[in-house]
Chain A
Amino acid sequence: MIGSFKQLKKDEEEGGGNPYYSADKTSVLQEARVFNETPVNVKRSTHVLTKILYLLNQGEILATKEATDAFFAMTKLFQSNDLVLRRLVYLGIKELCNIAEDTIIVTSSLTKDMTGREDQYRAPAIRALCRITDATMMQSIERYMKQAIVDRTTGVSSAALVSCRHIMTQSPEVVKRWVSEVQEALSSDNVMVQFHALGVLHQIRKSDKLAVTKMITKLTTSGLRSPYAICFLIRVVAQLIEEDEASSDSRLFDFLESMLRHKAEMVIYEAANAIVTLKKSSSRELVSGISVLQLFLSSPKPTLRFAAVRTLGKVAMYQPSAVAACNLDLETLLQDVNRSIATLAITTLLKTGTEGSVDRLMKSISNFLNDISDEFKVFVVE
């Protein structure tokens, strides 16, 4: 410990407090030879691997051969059972798998970890494995993936689901066979698992409108626990309302409106945003959406004020009269310490204001303009 501390101190004097400052590609890749020692030198290997990850993160570019060499050296570290080191190896695999060649060499090690008894390994091993596996190889681990999706350990289930979603971007077919497992995961108590399961399920059903409608009917009545999943669901519902040529289903609007009374702010905002953006909203619905956003305008939380004023600015483009009800609150925001919020408030007011108030605004903007960035000036002029 003391030795490494001294080392840190020394580097610090040279690199302005950054012990990794002096790391350069050639020497670090040389140091990676330490990975070949048996038994594994855990401490040094961890340090060198962290350096490699740091360099990659700084944007250092490795040639194919360099990356492949480092990758193969890294596979030796599977011999160690040190938790942190193993996790860093997974990270290294993910970082290098797009540059290095023959990365499938680690498939068996990762499959072993993913099905092993050590819970801490399983989830990250799944994520790394799915990164190096293509669709054809996926079939060989299909059985394990199905088990992982419904695993009781939430981290494992989430890892499998998110990996499914990544795979679907390339090859949607394999995952479609796992739909019953994904559905089972959707009823999980865990907020993240539910969110991830819904994301995968929607991706599977996306092109089949009837299936989407069925899914929505079930979920809007049964209720989801996860606020993240509900935000996702709100977007699906809004899309369905918009695409539906015929008269809109009032139950869907009822669902959106009921979400305005949800306890999580992120859900309330998502619902309000959907309602005010939908062209089919009735004036009554529009008013309830806008009044929720109006409440947010005076929130002590900057992010909430920002979200509300940004959305109102959007609505003001095509429904200026509906937003005019918020003019007083918007004018208060001109003094906001957050300049982004103040600027968004101005642009919104310019759209909703009457001739007289616009004149007044222009005066207050003129001394304000010096303060704000060019980007926002463009925004204002628009």
Chain B
Amino acid sequence: MSNLLEPTLYVIKGIAILDNDGNRIVAKYYDPHCFSSVKEEKKFEKNLFQKTHRANAEITMLDKLTCVYRSNVDLFFYVMGSSHENELILLCVLTCLYDAVSLILRKNVEKKTLLENLDIILLAIDEICDGGVPLETDPQVIAQRVALRMEETPFNDQTVSQVLQTAREQLKWSLLK
């Protein structure tokens, strides 16, 4: 009918974390019409990786999807939306994904630590997006909700506010880096 954007909660088409060979570590696609099979998805991921792994340019278009991305050491983070979507909303989701992961991995954003904490990372992605709807975009809230493992958390008997304080400091550090 027109070029106007449909008012919708379903903003996100996909979220992916790839390694530095372009292989999938985690990927979720929320629109069944987007890709017909896992094979298609992986083909898309390979192309996306080819296109983005050297250019650190934050945003690109591929197969009628707008993809915002970010990388660190050997990990590549992607958030996909339709080519008509408000790119700045997608970027907020990506920033949340990246910051939540670095909070969870305590700044060691690399493949090895990510895989060691894969359970928590899967939970975090589930907290960021529910079936294509952005559920939460505050990385500290995400980190809090996925409840880091007790045996590993140094702040066992701290109050919530103290935990938040620590999280905030960590975030500050990651920004200063």
Contacts and interface: CB of A to CB of B under 8 A. Distances in A.
Interface stretch (A82-90, A144-152, A247-255): A82-90
B106 interface: no
Contacts of A46: 119
Contacts of A50: 118-119, 122
A273 B6 CA distance: 13
Interface string B136-164: 11000100011101110000000000000
A340 B5 contact: no
For the complex, would chain B's binding face be called helix, strand, loop or mixed by DSSP majority?
Answer: mixed
Contacts, number: 163
A57 B28 contact: yes
Contacts of A235: 4-8
Chain A residues touching B, range: 35 or more
Contacts of A265: 88
Contacts of A339: 55, 57
A17 B110 CA distance: 11
A246 B86 CA distance: 29
A54 B61 CA distance: 28
A273 B119 contact: no
Interface string A175-212: 00000000000000001100110010010000000000
A19 interface: yes
Contacts of B90: 303
B85 to A, nearest CB: 10
B147 A83 contact: yes
29 contacts: A12-B112, A18-B19, A18-B111, A49-B119, A50-B122, A54-B118, A57-B27, A83-B147, A84-B120, A84-B149, A91-B122, A120-B147, A123-B145, A159-B135, A162-B133, A165-B133, A166-B131, A195-B134, A199-B8, A228-B89, A235-B7, A239-B7, A266-B88, A270-B86, A277-B4, A303-B87, A303-B90, A304-B88, A339-B57
Interface of A: 1, 8, 12, 17-20, 46, 49-50, 53-54, 57-59, 83-84, 87-88, 91, 94, 120, 123-124, 127, 155, 158-159, 162-163, 165-166, 191-192, 195-196, 199, 202, 228, 231-233, 235-236, 238-239, 242, 265-266, 269-270, 273-274, 277-279, 301-304, 306-307, 310, 314, 337-341, 373, 375
Interface of B: 2-9, 19, 24-28, 38-39, 41-42, 51, 55, 57-62, 68, 86-92, 111-112, 115-116, 118-120, 122-123, 126-127, 130-131, 133-137, 141, 145-147, 149-151
